[in-house]
Structure 1
Amino acid sequence: MRFLVDECTGPAVACWLRNQAHQVFSVYEEARGMSDDDVLQKALDENWILITNDRDFGEKIYREGHQHRGIIFLRLEDERAAKKIETLRRLLESYAERLPNQFVVVTENRVRFAQI
């Protein structure tokens, strides 16, 4: 799969995804300081699923009506890299085929495919 990992989500997540044979664009590693609007546009134009823990993207999708190719919003109490990776591992094992073009909210205990 193709994932665009937001700057706040971090390079450890990007590295883990690469090690799982996914294509990855890491904002932290390749375009630090990129605006949220530019991140969304790049993901849309280049067919990336965005992985973020930044709540602003929900606002941009739901209130501002931005299009997307898929967003995984990590809403975790523990935002350490190891917890993000473990959460993504479980998500990909169970729901990988459902991720494109969906807004998915993921907590430590729940996966919710949000209605747009």
Structure 2
Amino acid sequence: MKFLADENMDVAIVERLRQDGHQVWYVAEMEPGIPDDEVLALANREGAILITADKDFGELVFRLRYLATGIILIRLAGLSISAKCDIISITIQEHESELFSAFAVLAPTSIRIRKLG
């Protein structure tokens, strides 16, 4: 799968996704500080699912009706980076077919997936 990791994602998560065989662009390696709408546009251009901890993307897609290939909002505060990497990796494996054109919220013990559009 293709992912765009927002700059608020830890590099260990990016590395884990790459080790899992995914193609991952990382905003921190490309254009740190670009506005959220440009991050979303970049993900869309690449056909990539955005992985972020920034809740503002929910406003962009639900209230302002921006298009998105898919968004995974990470809500894993308080967990070790190792645990975060494992949860994200396993969730992507288990829900791969559901993540396109969806807004997913990933919490420590659950995932909520809402189709966009």
Alignment TM-score > 0.5, same fold: yes
Per the alignment, residue 3 of structure 2 pairs with 3
Per-residue CA shift, 1:44-87, capped at 9, x if unaligned?
Answer: 12201000011111111111111000100111232643232122
Unaligned runs of 5+ in 1: none
Contact 1:4 1:50 survives alignment (8 Å): yes
Equivalent-residue separation in structure 2 for 1:42 and 1:54 (angstroms): 16
Unaligned runs of 5+ in 2: none
Count of residues in Structure 1 that have an aligned counterpart in Structure 2: 116
Identity level (%): 34
* Worse-matched range after superposition: 77-86 or 56-65: 77-86
Q: TM-score, normalised by structure 2?
A: 0.91
Per the alignment, residue 14 of structure 2 pairs with 14
Q: 1:9 aligns to what SS in structure 2?
A: coil
Q: 1:8 aligns to what SS in structure 2?
A: coil
State the AA in 2 paired with 1:70: G
1:43 aligns with 2:43: yes
1:92 aligns with 2:92: yes
> What stretches of structure 1 move > 3 A for 4+ residues in a row?
none
State the AA in 1 paired with 2:63: R
State the AA in 2 paired with 1:7: E
CA RMSD across the alignment = 1.4
